[in-house]
Structure 1
Amino acid sequence: MTNAYRQAQDKDSNKDSDTLLLLYSVAFQGRVYLPVPAAEAIINGPQSLTINNNNDHEGSLRSASPKVHKFSVFEELLLSFSVQANVKVICDNKVGGDTISTVHGLRVISMAWVILGHTCITTFKYSDNMEYRKVVEKKFLFQTITNGAFSVDTFFFMGGLLVSFLYFRTNAKGDLNKLTQGTRGIVAGGLKFIGLLMYRFCRLTAPYMFVLGVVQVTMKWFHSNSVFEPPTADHYNCPNYWWRNFLYINTLFPVDQMCMIWSWYVADDTQFYVIGAVILVLATNHFKIATFLMTTLLLSSWLTTGYIALINNHMPSSDDPLALFDKIYDKPWTRLGPYFIGMSVGYFLFKTDCKIKMSKTTICVGWLLSSACLLSLLYGLYEAELSPIMAAAYSSLSHSLWALALSWIVVACSTGYGGYVNSILSAPILYPISRITYCAYLLHPLIIRLTAMNLDSPFHLGKYTMMITFLGVLVLSYVLSFIISVSFEAPIVTMLKILSPKKRKCIQ
C-alpha cells in the first residue's frame, strides 16, 4: 500500500493525475483500519465528483474522477468509536496472513472450559447439598473440572506462541525499524521494548479497569443487600488495592488482598509478556544469549515449583486444585513453562514459514503421542496415589507437558497436517467468538456471582441444574463481552493502529 501511495505522489504532476489519484484512493482505502464503505470513507458521494475541463480546446470533457478525502489523525481517532465499524471488525470471518488460525479454536474451547470450572466452584459454595459434591468428585469425568487449570496453560501457551511468531515476522519485514528511527544497539532495543510494552498496556487496560469498577460497585452492593456473603472481599480489596491490578503486579501479593481474584491470569500473562519481550528483543542480535536466558528461566521455574510442592506435601491427585493457590497456582515463577514453550513454537513456525514435510509415520506418531499426553494429564491420576517425589515432579512438569502436547497440534495444523482437527479449530464461525475472549474472561466470574447472589436460597446441586447454569453463564458472558469489546477493546486496538509509526508514515 505504501508503494502505491508513493507512486501517486511522484507522478502527481503528470497529465494522467486524475487516474493516478483514483488509484491512490484505492491504495489509501486499504490502509484505513476501519472497514468503512468506500463511499463513506474515501469518496464523499456524488457531490465530490468534479469535471476536468482542462482540454476544452479539444472539444471534449475528461471523465469525472472522485475527490479523495484524507482523514486527519483526529478524524480517524473519532471513527475508532464507530459501533458499526467495530462490529464489522469483530464479526469478520477472515483472518490476516500473519495469524495462526488454529489458536482461534483453542481459545474458544479453553474459554468454555474456564467458565465451566468457575461455574462449578461458585455454585458449590452456594449450595445446600454439599455432600453431592463429594459424590460427583469421585466420578471419572469430573477430572475434567478438577484439572481445569490446564485450560489456563493453553492460554499461556497461545500467548507466547503469538508474541514470538508475530514479533519475528514483523521484525523480518522491517516494520519495527519505524520504532527505532535509525538508532542501533541498546537504544534501538530499548525503543522496541518500550513500544511492545506500551501497546500491551494500552490494549488490555481499558476493558480491564472498566470491569474492575463494575466488580467493586456490585460486590459492595451485594455485601450489604444479599443473603449471602461475597465469595471474596472485593468490596474491600478493590478500593484499596486496585492499583496493583492497574500495574499488573497483584499476583506478587497475598491472595487475600487480591481484587478480582481471577485477574491473576492477566497479571501473570503480562509479566510473562514483559520477560518475553526482553528475550525477543535480545534475540534479534544475540540469539544464543536469549536462548540461554530462556532455558535458564525455564529450568528455574521447574525446580522452584517442584521444591514448593515437595515441602508443602502437595498431592495433585487428591488435593483441591486451588489448595496451594497462594504458593503455586497463581505465582508467575511456577506457571512460566507453557509461555516459553509457546514462544519456542512461534519461532519454529517463523523459521520454517509454516512449511514442513513429514512422513505419514511421523504424522501418525505425533498425533498419537499428543493425544496420549493430553488424556493422561487429564485423567491419568484418577484414584492414583503418588509418592512425594513423584507428586512434586508432576506439579512441576505437567503444565509444560500440556503445552508440548499442544505444540504438535498447532504445528501440524499450521503446516497442512491437521485434517479434520484443523478444520474444526480454524472454522471461520469461531473467529468472532475468539476475538471477544479477553472480555469474556474478565466478565464471566461476575456473571456467575450475580447469578448466585441474587438468589434468596442456596442452589440445590444436580447435573441438570449445573448444565443449565453453565450454558446460561456462557451465553450471557459472551453477549455482554461483545458489548464491552465494541465499546472499549476494539476502539483502543484501532487507535493503536492509527497511531503506530508505520501507519503515520503511510498517511503523512
Structure 2
Amino acid sequence: MFHRTCLMSKTSSNCRYPRDMNSLSPSLLQHIAFTHTFPLRISGSVSGSASQDREMNPVPAGRMELRKDTVHWAVCIPAACTAQDLKRTLDVLLNDYRGLTVTVEEDSCQTAEDMDQVPRYPLFWMMVLAYLLVISLCTVMDIYITQPEEKNYAMPLWRAVSLRSGWRRLTAPTLNMPEHVSCLPGMRVFTLCLVVAGHRGEAMTSGPFIHGAEVEQELQVLMEKLMSVNREYGLEINRRKTKAYQDVVGATMMNGHPVVDTFFVISGFLLCSHLLRALKAGRSLSIPRIYLARYLRLTPAYAVVIAMHAFALYGLSSGPLWKDKVGRERDNCQNNWWTNLLYINNYIHTDRPCIDPSWYLACDTQLFMLTPLVALLLVKSRRVAAWVLGSLLAVSVAIPALITYIQGLDPTIIPDPETLGHSMEDPTYLATYLPAYCRAGPYIVGMVLAYWLYSMKGNKPTLPKRKFLIFSREDITVLQMLEDLNKCFHYTGCNNKHILYLGWPLMLFVQFAVTACGYFFYQYSGSITPLMSATYAGLHRPLFSVGIAFIMMVCTTGNGGFVNKILSYPPLVPLSRLSYCIFLVHPMVQMLHFGGLRAPADIAYVSLVWLSIGDLVLSTACALILYLTIEQPLEELGRILLPKNNSKSEH
C-alpha cells in the first residue's frame, strides 16, 4: 500500500510526470524511507535489478515497532490532473517494485479553487461582528460615564460587559477570603503548561515526522537493510541510539497524562469547600441553581470555541493533511456539537470527538453534579462522612481496576506506533480514560482534603497526647489521624515536624514512580499480567492525586515554604483566571500548525519545548480575547440576573 495525499496547484493546463525513476532525486528517496511515520515497504531494488532484492519485513516483530509496508506521501501536481492520473503514473514508475500498490483518494486532493469554495458562513461572521460592536459600545460608555460613589450601587448591564471592567477583574489582586488557597493559581498555570506540552507532543506524533525510527523499540534490522540502499545514492543515515520507549525520560513524559488529574483535585476541593461552608452557615442549597450557575459559567466560551471549530477553522489555512486533520475536526463539530454542550461527549461519539481534550469538561461536569448530594451527607456526622468518602474512594479505585482486568486492557495508555497520536483508536483510552466513573478518584481526593480542612477548622491549638499510630478501637479512624496531622502541621509548637519533612520526598517519589512506571510497561508490555494491569489502573490516579493534595494541604497550613511562594506568585493570578480559556483555544492553535504542515516535523525535546512555548503564547493571546469578550461579560451578567441567594459554582 503506497498512499499519497496530493496537494494540487493550478500551474499548467497539461498534466506531465517524470517518465522514469531516475528523475526522482536521491533526497526524495531518503524522504520516503526515513522521514515519515510509516516507512516504505520495498520489495525489489532501487536500481530495478531483480538480483539486488532488499525486502523488509512488513509485519512488526513487536508491539513497539512501526509497519514497514506503508508510506503516506504528499505531492504537488498540476491542477488539471486527477487522482486517477496520478495513480496511473505512479503505477508505471513503480512497476519494478514487486507487490507494491498505489492508492490515491480524490477526497485527499485539493486545489486553490477548492479552498476558495470553502463555505464562509457569512451569517456566523455577521453575528460575531454585531456582538463585538455591542461590546465596544459598552466599553466606550464605561469609559466616559462616571460611576456613582454609592455603596449599594447596582452595576448596570452595559458596565458588566465592558472590556475595561473585564480587564480590571482579570488583573485584580486575589482577596484574602476564607476559601482562598494561595497555591492554586500556580498549580493551575503549571499544570496547564504541562497539558499543552503533552498535546503538542501528541500532535507531533500524529503526523509525518523525521527520525521515525526513534519511536521504535528495535530498529537495527531495518537500518542495516537500508544502509546499502542509501549508500548507492550517497545518502547518510543519522543513527541515534536513544529511542522514546527505551529512554526513561521519554517514557515518563509519554506516561505523564496523570498530571491532568491535578485539575480534578482542585475542582473537587473548591466545590466541596464552598458547599460545606454554605451548609455550615445555615444556607440552603438550591441544587438546580447550582447546576444552572455552573452551566452558565462554562458553556458560553465553550460554545464559541465549538462554533469556531465548526465554521471558521477550516478556511484559515490549507495543506496535505488539512482535510484529514482539520476537515475531520470541522465535520465532528458540525455533527456532534450537541454532545459537547450537554457534556456527554465522553460517552457518545467518542471516536469522533469535537475538540479532543473536551472530554475533561464532560467528566468534571458529571462529577460536579454529584458533589452537592455528597456534601449533604458529609455534614451529618464525622462517622457518616468517613463512610461516604471512604466508600466513594474505594469504588473509584475498584471500577477502573475491574474494567481493566475483565477486558484485558493495558494498565495505562501505551501509545504504540499504530495508535501514536490517535488515542481514540486505543481501547484503553476509550474504556478507562474517558468515563467519569474511571476519573472520579482524584476528584474524591480533593473532596477529602476539603472536608478535612472544614472539619479541623477552629480546633484549639493543643498538641496531640497520643502517637500517630493508635491501636485503641475508638481511635482507629481516618479522621482522627487527619486531625492529629492537622495539629502537627498547623501549629508551630508541634514537635513532630519530621513528618512534614518526610512527607515532601515521599509524595514526590510516589508521583514520579506513578509516571515512571510507563518505562516498565513500554519495555515489557507483552509480559504484564492482568492483575498487574488492574492494580496499576485502579491505584495510579488516586496515588498521584494524593501528592497534589499534600502540596495543597501544606501550603494551606502555612508549611509550603518556597514552594508556596512560587505557586502564589502574584503575576500567576491573571494567568490562572485565563486558564479555562487557554485550555479551550490551545487545540485550535495547535491544529492550525500541524494541520498545515508541508514537511515532516522533527521529533526532539528542543522542538517540543520550542513549539509548546509558541502554543502557550498564542493561546494566551487568543484566550485573553475570549475572556474579555465572552467568558467574563457573560459570567458577570449571570451573577446580576440570577437570584442573590444562588450558591455560586466554582470551576
Contact (CA 8 Å) 1:42, 1:70: kept in 2 or not?
no
Q: Which residue of 2 aligns with 1:210?
A: 304
Contact (CA 8 Å) 1:238, 1:259: kept in 2 or not?
yes
Using the alignment, how far apart are the partners of 2:197 and 2:559 within structure 1? 30
Q: Which residue of 2 aligns with 1:117?
A: 198
Q: Which amino acid letter does the alignment assign opposite residue 514 of structure 2?
A: L
**Whose radius of gyration is greater, 1 or 2?**
2
* Structure 1 position 452 matched with structure 2 position 600: no
Change (3 A) 1:457 1:217: farther
Matches for 1:252-271 after TM superposition, within 5 Å: 252-271=347-366
Using the alignment, how far apart are the partners of 2:501 and 2:152 within structure 1? 55
Q: CA shift at 1:353, angstroms?
A: 3.1
Q: Please state whether the residue corresponding to 2:601 is helix, strand or coil.
A: coil
Contact (CA 8 Å) 2:413, 2:429: kept in 1 or not?
no
Q: CA shift at 1:201, angstroms?
A: 0.5
Q: Which amino acid letter does the alignment assign opposite residue 501 of structure 2?
A: C
Deviations 1:278-321 (A, max 9, x none): 21134345775565444434323322211221234334478229
Matches for 1:306-317 after TM superposition, within 5 Å: 306-316=401-411
Q: Which residue of 1 aligns with 2:189?
A: 108
Paired residues in the alignment total 428
Q: Which residue of 2 aligns with 1:431?
A: 573
Q: CA shift at 1:351, angstroms?
A: 2.3
* Structure 1 position 374 matched with structure 2 position 511: yes
Using the alignment, how far apart are the partners of 1:287 and 1:254 within structure 2? 42
Q: CA shift at 1:469, angstroms?
A: 1.1
Q: Which amino acid letter does the alignment assign opposite residue 559 of structure 2?
A: Y
Contact (CA 8 Å) 2:336, 2:354: kept in 1 or not?
yes
Give structure 1 stretches of 5+ with no counterpart: 1-35, 44-67, 178-188
Q: 2:331 aligns with which of 225, 233, 236?
A: 236
Q: Which residue of 2 aligns with 1:357?
A: 488
Using the alignment, how far apart are the partners of 1:270 and 1:172 within structure 2? 24
Moved more, 394-403 or 160-169: 160-169
Q: Please state whether the residue corresponding to 2:488 is helix, strand or coil.
A: coil
Contact (CA 8 Å) 1:208, 1:442: kept in 2 or not?
yes
- The structure carrying a bigger helix percent of its residues is 1
Using the alignment, how far apart are the partners of 2:151 and 2:605 within structure 1? 60
Deviations 1:231-288 (A, max 9, x none): 7832222222211111111112241132222100000000000011221134345775
Q: Which residue of 1 aligns with 2:72?
A: none
Contact (CA 8 Å) 1:143, 1:379: kept in 2 or not?
yes
Using the alignment, how far apart are the partners of 2:300 and 2:355 within structure 1? 15
Q: Which amino acid letter does the alignment assign opposite residue 445 of structure 2?
A: I
* Structure 1 position 133 matched with structure 2 position 215: yes
Q: 2:281 aligns with which of 152, 159, 173?
A: 173
Provide TM-score, normalisation by structure 2.
Answer: 0.61
Matches for 1:337-416 after TM superposition, within 5 Å: 337-353=441-457, 356-358=487-489, 359-383=496-520, 385=524, 386-416=528-558
Q: Please state whether the residue corresponding to 1:249 is helix, strand or coil.
A: coil
* Structure 1 position 334 matched with structure 2 position 438: yes
Provide TM-score, normalisation by structure 1.
Answer: 0.78
Q: 1:158 aligns with which of 266, 275, 282?
A: 266
Q: CA shift at 1:157, angstroms?
A: 0.7
Q: CA shift at 1:493, angstroms?
A: 2.7
Q: Which amino acid letter does the alignment assign opposite residue 444 of structure 1?
A: H
Change (3 A) 1:378 1:307: same
Using the alignment, how far apart are the partners of 1:116 and 1:102 within structure 2? 22
Q: CA shift at 1:370, angstroms?
A: 1.1
Q: CA shift at 1:167, angstroms?
A: 1.8
Q: Please state whether the residue corresponding to 1:470 is helix, strand or coil.
A: helix
Q: Which amino acid letter does the alignment assign opposite residue 217 of structure 1?
A: F
Using the alignment, how far apart are the partners of 1:234 and 1:317 within structure 2? 26
Using the alignment, how far apart are the partners of 2:531 and 2:327 within structure 1? 33
Q: Which amino acid letter does the alignment assign opposite residue 251 of structure 1?
A: N
Matches for 1:463-482 after TM superposition, within 5 Å: 463-482=605-624
Change (3 A) 1:110 1:77: same
Q: Which residue of 2 aligns with 1:276?
A: 371
Matches for 1:6-21 after TM superposition, within 5 Å: none
Contact (CA 8 Å) 1:317, 1:383: kept in 2 or not?
no
Deviations 1:23-56 (A, max 9, x none): xxxxxxxxxxxxx99x93224xxxxxxxxxxxxx
Q: Which amino acid letter does the alignment assign opposite residue 304 of structure 1?
A: I
Q: Which residue of 1 aligns with 2:28?
A: none
Determine which structure has greater relative contact order: mean sequence separation of CA pairs < 8 Å that are 6+ residues apart, divided by chain length.
Answer: 1
Contact (CA 8 Å) 2:244, 2:251: kept in 1 or not?
no
Q: Which amino acid letter does the alignment assign opposite residue 450 of structure 2?
A: G
Q: CA shift at 1:463, angstroms?
A: 3.3
* Structure 1 position 80 matched with structure 2 position 211: no
Change (3 A) 1:391 1:91: same
Change (3 A) 1:408 1:464: closer
Using the alignment, how far apart are the partners of 1:367 and 1:128 within structure 2? 39
Q: Which amino acid letter does the alignment assign opposite residue 362 of structure 1?
A: I
Q: Which residue of 1 aligns with 2:146?
A: 40
Q: Which amino acid letter does the alignment assign opposite residue 336 of structure 1?
A: A
Q: Which residue of 1 aligns with 2:584?
A: 442
Q: Which residue of 2 aligns with 1:145?
A: 253
Q: Please state whether the residue corresponding to 1:480 is helix, strand or coil.
A: helix
Between the aligned residues of both structures, percent identity stands at 26
Contact (CA 8 Å) 2:343, 2:361: kept in 1 or not?
yes
Q: Please state whether the residue corresponding to 1:309 is helix, strand or coil.
A: helix
